[in-house]
Amino acid sequence: MTQQNPLLDFSDLPQFAAIKPEHVGPAIASLLEQSRAVVAALEASAAQVSWENFVEPLENATEKLGRAWGIVAHLNAVVDTPELRAAYNENQPLLTEFWTSLGQNLALFDKYKALQASAAFAQFSPARKTIVNHAIRDFRLGGAELPDDKKIRYAEIQERQAALSTRFSENVLDATNDYGLFIDNIDELQGLPEDVLQAAKSAAEKDGKTGYKFTLHFPSYFPVLQYADNRQLRETIYHANATKASELGSKPEWDNTAIIAELLELRQEEASLLGYHNFAEVSLVTKMAETLAEVSRFLLDLARRARPFAEKDLAELRVFAREQLGIADLQAWDTTYASEKLREQRYAFSEQELKPYFAEPQVIAGLFNVIQTLFAVEIKPDTAPVWHQDVKFYRIEKDGKLVGQFYLDLYARNGKRGGAWMDDARGRRRTAHGIQTPVAYLTCNFNEPVTVDGVTRPALFTHDDVITLFHESGHGLHHLLTQVDELAVSGISGVEWDAVELPSQFMENFCWEWDVLQGMTAHADTGAPLPRELYDKMIAARNFQSGMQTLRQVEFSLFDLRLHDEVGTGSKRDVQGILDTVRQQVAVFTPPDFNRVQHSFGHIFAGGYAAGYFSYKWAEVLSADAYAAFEEASKAEGSTLSRSVGQKFQSEVLEVGGSRPALESFKAFRGREPTVDALLRHHGMAA
Catalytic annotation, residues? 472
HEC profile for 409-425?
EEECCCCCCCCCEEEEE
Return d(Cα 313, Cα 299) in angstroms, integer.
20
- Structural contact between residues 208 and 564, judged by C-beta atoms closer than 8 angstroms: no
Task: Give the closest residue to 50 by CA, choosing from 151, 102, 120.
Answer: 120
- The H or E element that residue 403 is part of is strand 401-411
- Cα distance between residue 421 and residue 473, in whole Å: 9
CA-wise closest residue to 683 among 148, 419, 307, 332: 307
CA pair distance 234, 91, nearest whole angstrom: 41
Q: Please count the other Cβ atoms lying within 10 Å of the Cβ belonging to residue 12.
A: 9
Query: SS3 helix, strand, coil % of the chain, rounded to 5?
Result: 60, 10, 30
Report d(CA 180, CA 200) in Å as an integer: 11
Long-range contacts of 291-294 (CB under 8 A, 24+ apart): 292/561, 292/565
Q: What's the CA gap between 634 and 243, in Å, rounded? A: 47
The strand pair at 439-446 and 212-214 is best described as: unpaired
The DSSP annotation for 462-511 comes to: -HHHHHHHHHHHHHHHHHHS----SGGGSTTTT--TTTTTHHHHHHHGGG
DSSP state at residue 51: I
Spell out the alpha helix ranges (H) of 564-658.
Answer: 575-586, 602-605, 615-637, 643-649
Among residues 62, 63, 43, which one has the least CA distance to residue 53?
43
Query: Distances from the Cα of 453 to the Cαs of 194, 356, 458, 464, in angstroms?
Result: 14, 20, 15, 28
Which residues have a Cβ under 8 Å from the Cβ of 66 and sit 6 or more positions away? none
* Residue pair 139/151 in contact by the 8 Å Cβ criterion: no
Name the E strands within 210-344.
212-214
**Residues ≥6 apart with Cβ < 8 Å to 516:** 366, 370, 510, 640, 641
Phi and psi (nearest 5°) for 497?
A: -60, -30
Give, in order, the Cα–Cα distances in Å from 425 to each of 74, 373, 510: 9, 26, 27
User: Computed from CA positions of residues 229, 231, 237, 243, in that sequence, does the dihedral angle turn out positive or negative?
Assistant: positive
CB 205 within 8 A of CB 365: no
Q: What CA–CA distances, in Å, run from 137 to 39, 116, 149, 152, 610?
A: 19, 12, 21, 20, 19
Angle (nearest 5°) at CA 578 between 575 and 579: 90
- Pairwise CA distance, residues 93 & 99, whole Å: 10
- 8 A C-beta contact, residue 163 and residue 193: no
- The conformation of residue 181, written as its DSSP 8-state character, comes to E
